[in-house]
A and B are shown apart, each in its own frame.
Chain A
Amino acid sequence: DTAVSQTPKYLVTQMGNDKSIKCEQNLGHDTMYWYKQDSKKFLKIMFSYNNKELIINETVPNRFSPKSPDKAHLNLHINSLELGDSAVYFCASSQALLAEHTDTQYFGPGTRLTVL
């Protein structure tokens, strides 16, 4: 019974293409996140959505556009892919931002994106 799932697990594509990564959580959480992990394993937050509303938007190129159709889903769409976009992308979720004992994040398995 997967808590946070991402599809696809692996994505290989050519430079310049547009691709999407889907994320779904069945935990009933209000907040979802996207992280990028580079080749040196450094993990950096990209976006955070709370109840389908954008809360955090770190400095990422506007080629990256998150979309939250409902609070159980946060998809990441990337336009005009570049070589530097190659990384592992993690989706995560947590309960409401300010509630007690709800700060724990649950991560998806990651999507390895390779741009050729």
Chain B
Amino acid sequence: AQTVTQSQPEMSVQEAETVTLSCTYDTSESDYYLFWYKQPPSRQMILVIRQEAYKQQNATENRFSVNFQKAAKSFSLKISDSQLGDAAMYFCVFRDNYGQNFVFGPGTRLSVLP
């Protein structure tokens, strides 16, 4: 069974600075998808970025980018120029290639300090 680990329960960053959230996962599959979701206090789950495992190029989405290391099974999220609105719980998510198994990590609570 797949597992997702986020070793940082809480992190903080100064506004306008850069922060990296770590995520590792365990799977025996070669094709799969990885996501970062953000959950602000409103509880809405918002997709931040996605990565297909067969793509070597790291996904980027405006101020958000990932460092995907397939061999190491690592999928970290970098947030540049942090903004107050980035404060939220961030979940790393694994999805298998058959789409039948979404596995969420335990989450990292990010605080952004003014």
Q: Which residues of A contact B (CB under 8 A)?
A: 31, 33, 35, 40-45, 48, 55-56, 88, 90, 92, 94, 97-98, 103-107, 109-110, 112
Least Cβ distance of A75 to chain B in Å? 19
Q: Which residues of B contact A (CB under 8 A)?
A: 33, 35, 37, 39, 42-47, 50, 89, 91, 95, 98-102, 104, 106-107
- B33 and A43 contacting across the interface, CB-CB below 8 Å: no
- A33 and B107 contacting across the interface, CB-CB below 8 Å: no
- A43 and B43 contacting across the interface, CB-CB below 8 Å: no
Least Cβ distance of A63 to chain B in Å? 23
Least Cβ distance of A27 to chain B in Å? 13
- A44 and B99 contacting across the interface, CB-CB below 8 Å: no
- B contact face: mostly helix, strand, loop, or mixed: strand
With contacts defined as CB atoms under 8 Å apart, how many contacts are there between chain A and chain B in the complex? 53
For A90, list chain B residues within 8 Å (CB): 45
For B91, list chain A residues within 8 Å (CB): 43
- B99 and A103 contacting across the interface, CB-CB below 8 Å: yes
For A109, list chain B residues within 8 Å (CB): 42-44
For A104, list chain B residues within 8 Å (CB): 35, 47, 50
- B47 and A48 contacting across the interface, CB-CB below 8 Å: no
Least Cβ distance of A2 to chain B in Å? 11
For B35, list chain A residues within 8 Å (CB): 104-105
- B104 and A98 contacting across the interface, CB-CB below 8 Å: no
For B47, list chain A residues within 8 Å (CB): 104-106
Partner of B33, one of A42, A103, A110: A103
Partner of A55, one of B44, B50, B95, B100: B100
- A41 and B107 contacting across the interface, CB-CB below 8 Å: yes
Nearest residue, chain A, Cβ from B50 = A104
Q: When chains A and B are docked, how far (Å) is the Cα of A93 from the Cα of B98?
A: 15
- A110 and B99 contacting across the interface, CB-CB below 8 Å: no
Contact A103 to B50, CB < 8 A, known contacts A33-B102, A43-B104, A56-B100: yes
Partner of A103, one of B37, B46, B89, B95: B95
